[in-house]
Amino acid sequence: MEKAGGDMLQKFYPDAYVDSAYGIDFEKLYGEGYRGVIFDIDNTLVPHGAPADKRSKELFARLKSLGYGIILLSNNKKPRVKTFGDAVGAGYIYKAKKPAVGNYRKAMELMHTDKGSTLFVGDQLFTDVWGAKKAGMRTFLVKPIHPKEEIQIVLKRRLEKIVLFFYLRSNKAEG
């Protein structure tokens, strides 16, 4: 029997919970053998609906110079995802149906990576992280860039707070 809360929720736990996609040590991870990064866009790299900015363009240029393959994986529609992908010079999959694993696998195929050499970076537990975990890859949950979000995301965030409570508590117990 699973313990209330903690064990039952572990399928949603990220491998790392970080302040920002821009603070991840991608150089170190490359040294550990990672070769592909799959990113969510909205509230992971820029505020919801915002265009690619200088910081996101510089990050993608740095990752490419290191040798990473990069794919944007978004549940958003093609105009949003294509415009951002073109601006940062990355491949993309739109209407990705996260947390279904099919397009996570497709992204790995496009980058010629596998679950052991691919990282996922996103801001939502129940779509981004859960899907990436089901696909078997290492996950980074980032704090949302901007608090203004669509109502369905606001409601999911309330549930995420419960999961994060148990995640942070279990990490404190291990540390």
Is pLDDT at 105 greater than 90 in this prediction?
A: yes
Is pLDDT at 149 greater than 90 in this prediction?
A: no
Asked which of 18-22, 80-84, 140-144, 170-174 is least confident by mean pLDDT, the reply is 170-174
Residue 158 included in any domain: no
User: Which secondary-structure segment (H or E) carries 58?
Assistant: helix 54-66
Query: The domain spanning residue 140 has which CATH number?
Result: 3.40.50.1000
* 98: nearest Cα among 155, 166, 153: 153
Of residues 149 and 143, more confidence is placed in 143
Residue 168 included in any domain: no
pTM of the full predicted structure? 0.86
CB contact at 8 A, 74 and 96: yes
Residue 156 included in any domain: no
Q: Distance between CA atoms of 80 and 50, rounded to whole angstroms?
A: 9
Asked which of 1-5, 115-119, 133-137 is least confident by mean pLDDT, the reply is 1-5
What does the pLDDT read at residue 1?
36
Residue 166 included in any domain: no
What does the pLDDT read at residue 162?
79
**Which parts of the chain are beta strand (E)?**
16-18, 36-39, 69-73, 91-93, 118-122, 138-142
The residue range of the domain holding 133 is 16-146
* 23: nearest Cα among 133, 144, 142: 142
Residue 36 included in any domain: yes
Amino acid at site 47: P
Asked whether the CA dihedral 81, 82, 84, 88 is positive or negative, the reply is positive
What does the pLDDT read at residue 5?
53
Task: Quote the mean pLDDT of the chain.
Answer: 90
In the chain, the number of structural domains is 1
